[in-house]
Structure 1
Amino acid sequence: MHKSEVRRIVDDTLDEMGLRECADRTIGNWHLRGISGGEKKRLSIALEILTHPRLLFLDEPTSGLDSAAAFSVIQTLRQLAVDGGRTIISSVHQPSSEVFTLFDDLCLLSSGECVYFGDAKLANQEAELDPLLKYSTTEIRERLVEKYRISEYAMMVRSTIHEITKIEGVMEEVIRGSQASWFKQLRTLTKRSFTNMSRDFGYYWLRIIIYIIMAVCLGTIYYDVGTSYTAIQARASCGGFVSGFMTFMSIGGFPSFIEEMKVFTLERHNGHYGVAAYVISNFLSSLPFLLTVSWASASITYWMVKFRPGFSYFAFFALNLYGGVSVIESLMMIISALVPNFLMGLILGAGVIGIMMLTSGFFRLLPELPKIFWRYPVSYIVYGSWGLKGAYKNDLIGLEFEPMMPGQPKLKGEYIITDMMGLSLNHSKWLDLAMIFVLLFSYRLTFFLVLKVKEYASPYIRVAYTRFTVKRLERRASFRKTLAMTSLSKRHNPPHPMAIQEGLNSPMPY
C-alpha cells in the first residue's frame, strides 16, 4: 500500500473517531499533557478499525467514562457500523437511556441465562408482566427467563441457529497476519519505538542524566588514582563499580518495558507484525540512547580517573560499559515478558543481577569460586566476569605499580592480573569484549523465544490456571455452601432456555 493511501486511511480514522483535534494538539504539546480517558478509549478503538475489520468485539468500551464521553463513544461506533458496513458487538453494564437507544440488537443476560435476545427497541415489551414489586430479584429473573423462553424471539433465534449449523465450508477467505513486508514492519516499528523513547523523559533522558552525575561522582572519588600500591585496589574497585553497579542502574527502564509489552501483546494478537521484527526494532531504536549513556559516562570517568592514555583504551572502556548496559536491558526485557507485574519483575530482576555481580570475580576472585555451579557454568554465562576481566587487562597490562615495601621491585600489571587476581592472559581483552556481545545476542534470542513460546502456550496456561482456581475454590467451605444453595434453588427453576436449542449451549446473533 502506498504511503499516501496509508496517510489517507489514518486521517479518515482520526476524523471518524473525533481525534483530529486531539492529534493536532498532542503533536505539538506531547510534553505538556497526555490525552483524556475518553480520548484513550476512542484511540484504542481507532487502532482496531485501521485494518477495516468486518467484525469488531469490544469489552466495556464505556467503562470509566462519564455519561457524555460514553454517549460520544457509542454514537461513533454506531456511525462506523452504519457507514462502514461493520458488525460491532459490545458488552455494556448499566448503560444510560441515551446510550441504550443507540443499540440495534440486545442480548440481555442474568446469572448466565438469556433473558432477552432481539431488537433492542422491543425489549421493554418483554418486561410487561404483572407488577414486579411484590417479587424477589430471583423470582423476577425466573419470570423473565420463562417469558423469553416461550417467546417468538427465542423461536426465531433457535431457527436461525439451526440454519447456520447447516452451512458447510468456508464462506470467505480470511487474511491472516500483516500485509506489510518484513522490512516495512522493521522500519516502521524502529521509527515508532525511537519516537516513543525520545518523547518519554523517564525512558532514557533521565537515565542519561543520572549516569552522567554518577560518572562525575565516580571520577571525583577516584580522581587521578595514580600507580601507588594502594592504587591497585582502587583501580580494581573502580572497574568493579563500572562493570557492576553502573550497569545495574539499567534496571530503571523496567517500568517502560512493562508498558511496551502491553502494546506489543495487543498488536501481536491482531497480527500487525512479527516477533522478530519487534525484537530487532527494539534493539535498533535503543542503540543510540545506550551508546550515549556509555560514551558520556565513560568520557567523564575515564579522563578524571586517568586510566591508561590512548583512544583504543578509552574505546574499549566505553564499549565494555555499553555491552554490560545492553545485556541488562535485554535481561529486563526477558523478565518483562515472563512477569508482567511491575513489583515482581523488579524484585526478580534485582535478584538475578545480584547473582551476576556476585559471580563476576570482584567480591570473590574467580579461581576461588566453588567450582561446581558457581564457577562452572554460572561465571561463564554472566556478563560481569567477562567485562571485569577485559577491564583489568585494558587498564593494567603495561603499567607498573609501587611495591608494598620500599626497596622492593615494582609490580607489573601482568603480575597483578595473573598472581594477585588469578586470571589468565591466554586470550586478549577483545575476546572478553566479544563474549559480552555473544551474551547480548543470546539474551535477545532468548527474548525472541520467550515471546514465541508464550504466544503458543498462553491458551493452555490460562486453561490450566482456571482449572486450578476452580479446584482451589471447591475446597473452600464457603464456596461449597454457596454452590449447594444455588443447586437447591435451581431445582425449582425452569430449564435453561438455551439448553433445548439443538444441543447448543450459547446464543448466536441473527
Structure 2
Amino acid sequence: MAASPLPRWAPTPSPTRPLRTPGTPSAGAGAASSSSSSSSSWRSCVPLLTTFSSVFGSSAVRRGGGLSGGEPPPALPDAGRHDIVGGIAPLDGVVALMGPSGCGKTTLLDALAGRLSPNMKMRGDILINGLREKLSFGTSAYVTQENVLMATLTVTEAGISGGQRKRVSICVELLASPALLFLDEPTSGLDSAASYHVMSRIAGLARRDGMTVVAAVHQPSTEMFELFHGLCLLATGRTVYFGGASDAIEFFESNGFPCPLRRNPSDHFLRMINKDFEGASPIPQRQATFLTKTYARASMLMFTSTLLTMMAIGGFPSFVEDMKIFRKERMSGHYGATEFVISNTLSSIPYLGLISIIPGAIAYYLTGLQRGIDHFIYFAAVLWACTMLVEGLMMIVAAVVPDFLLGIITGSGVQGVLMLNAGFFRLPSDLPKPVWKYPTYFISYHKYATQGLYKNELLGLVFEDIGGGGLTISGEYILKNYLQISEIVKPRMLHFLCASKV
C-alpha cells in the first residue's frame, strides 16, 4: 500500500524574509492524494499537518532580528498577536522547530495539537490528510516541557533524575504508538550524549513505524542536527525558513550569511536570526497619569473606610456581655429592647466620633486629599456613619449568635461580602447579576459610602491628560466613565457647607 504524498503546510514568503520550501507540492495535489488514499489502512495513512495562518495570544510581541540584510520583521498590528505561517510535516521524519526564546515554538505546537489555552484564539486551517478534523484519541501524543509524573509510585521511580524523568515522559507518550508526535523541548535537562541518543531513537521509530514528529529544540549538536528531516526557523512569530534541514546552510549562504567552518549550523542559524535582538529598542509605553492619581485616591478612600469599619467589629465582645445583662434586666422588667438599643447607640456616639475624626484627619491630610474643612467634615461624617452601621450590625449578630467566636466569624463574613460588592474591587458592570449585583450590591452600605467619598474627593478636580498637550480631564468625567457613578451630584452636606462659605 502506497502512502499518500505530502499535503501542503504552506508558508507565506515576505520581501524582508526570503522563504524556501523545496519540493512543496500544490494544494490540489495534496487534496487529491488525500482522497485517493482514504481506503488504505490507518498505519499507512499517517495524519499529516497542513495549512494554518495566525495564532492570537495574550503575550506581548517583541521585535527580533530578521534574516535578509539583518532587518527585523515588521511589527504586528495587534499587541499580543503572533502570526505563525506554515510548512510541511514530512512523512516518516522529524521536523525541528528552532528559534530564540519567545518566538512562538510552544504556541505553534499547542495550536497544532489543539491545546491552546482558553485566553488564546487561533485563525486558520489545520488539515489531517487534507480534511478539517480533530485529532482522535490515540492518534497523536504531546510531550510538554514539564515532566508531569507520579513521583511516589515506587522508591526507584521517585528517585530518578531530571533527565530520566524527561525520558520517562517521552516513553509514556510512545506507549500508544501515535501516528503524530509533538515534542516540546525533549532534550532539556539532558547532556549532549543523552540528547543525541534520545533523538536518534525517536528518528528511528519515525522511520520504522511511519510516525510524523514535530519537535521544538534548543541549540542541538551537529550530530543531532543531522537527524532532522525538516527545519522550521521562527523569529517573533514569523517563519524565517522552512525546508530541508540539509538545505538550510545553502539557503543562508545564498542570502549572504554563510556558515563558518567548524561551527554548529544550528548555532549559526540562531545567531543570524537573533543578531539584532540585544540592540532592539523596547516599545515605548505610556500611561495616563490621571488614571494613576484617580486609582490612588480611590484606593486610599476605600482602605480608610473599610479599615475603621473592620476595627469596629472588635467591639463584639462587649456586645456579648451587654446582651447577658440585657436579658437578665429585661426579665426583671427594668427596661425593654427599644430602650436598650437607644441607650447603647447614644453612649457609643462620642467614642465612634473620636475614632473617626482623629485617625481620619491623620490619613486625610497626610495623603494629600482635597484641602478644605468642608471636604474633611464630609469625609469624617461618612466614616462615623460607617462605624455606626457596623455597631448596629454587630448588635444584631450578638442577638442572633450568642457564641463569641461564631459571632466574630459571622460579622466579619457579612462585612467582607458587603465590602467586596461595593464597586471598588469590581466595577458595577462587571459584577455577576444574580446575587452579587441584585441585591447585594444595592444593599451594601460600602457602595454608598465609597461613592460619597469619591464625589467628595473628585468633584471640582481637573487632571492633565497623557502627553502634556494641554488637554484636561475633569473629575466628573472620571466618576462617570471610569468609576461608573451615574448620578454626579455634589453631596448635600458638602453643598451646604460650600454655600455657607460664600
Shorter-chain TM range is 0.3 to 0.5
TM, length-normalised to structure 1:
0.39
**Which structure has the larger Rg?**
2
Higher helix fraction: Structure 1 or Structure 2?
1
